[in-house]
Amino acid sequence: MGIEQDDSGVRLDIETPSGHYTLAADYVIAADGARSPLRDLMGLEWKGQIFRDRFLIADVHMKGEFRPSAGSGSILRFIRASRCCCIDRPTTSGASTSSLAGRRSRRGEKPERVSSRIRAMLGDERPFELEWVSVYTFQCRRLDRFVHGCG
């Protein structure tokens, strides 16, 4: 991947499994995530803090209201349109996706270790189905400026 800017716009060199191509555009919006290759290609540095805490995030389908058990720790939850509950909670600082969920967790695996943690959070025998799980590190970082290369 590559990027070139001039007065006429932007040209991106893009590499895909199907092959290489060039795309011309008036502008580019970088929405490629925390490990942004586009930001790296442009030499843009973001500043801020990376926290040591690790968080478990899981999409869970279950019946009834979400009522975490006492002592289950801080939990954020979001109910999605599909009645899927997204659970987001702190976990141990050394936890990784593979240690909690197994290497294939991002493909919808239902690992026993995560299921038992969610069962402990729910605090009862309510049936649930684990749809997706991952572990992430919270970052609070941003660019000094969000517009670059404008004439």
Tell me whether residue 50 is exposed, middle or buried, using C-beta atoms within 10 angstroms of its C-beta: 0 to 12, 13 to 18, 19 or more: exposed
Beta bridge pairs of residue 3: 12
Length of the chain: 151
pLDDT in tens, 44-60: 888 888 888 888 888 88
Alpha helices in the chain (DSSP H): 37-41, 97-101, 112-122
pLDDT in tens, 4-61: 888 889 999 999 999 999 999 998 888 887 778 888 888 888 888 888 888 888 888 8
Regarding predicted confidence, which is higher, 119 or 124?
119
Nearest in space to 91 (alpha carbons), one of 79, 102, 99:
99
pLDDT in tens, 75-104: 767 676 667 788 888 875 455 545 454 444
Going by pLDDT thresholds of 50, 70 and 90, the confidence category of residue 138 is confident
Asked if 58 and 122 touch (Cβ cutoff 8 Å), the reply is no
In this model, does residue 109 exceed pLDDT 70?
Answer: no
pTM: 0.55
- The whole-number pLDDT of residue 103 equals 40
- Distance CA(75)–CA(15), nearest Å, equals 40
Q: What does DSSP assign to residue 106?
A: G
Buried b (16+ CB within 10 A) or exposed e, 115-132: bebbeebbeeeeebebeb
Asked if 25 and 48 touch (Cβ cutoff 8 Å), the reply is no
Residue type, 77: R
Structural domain spans, the chain: 2-45, 49-139
Q: The domain 49-139 is classified under which CATH number: 3.30.70, 2.60.120, 3.40.50, 3.10.620?
A: 3.30.70
Regarding predicted confidence, which is higher, 45 or 105?
45
Beta sheet of 19-25, edge-to-edge order: 2-6, 9-16, 19-25
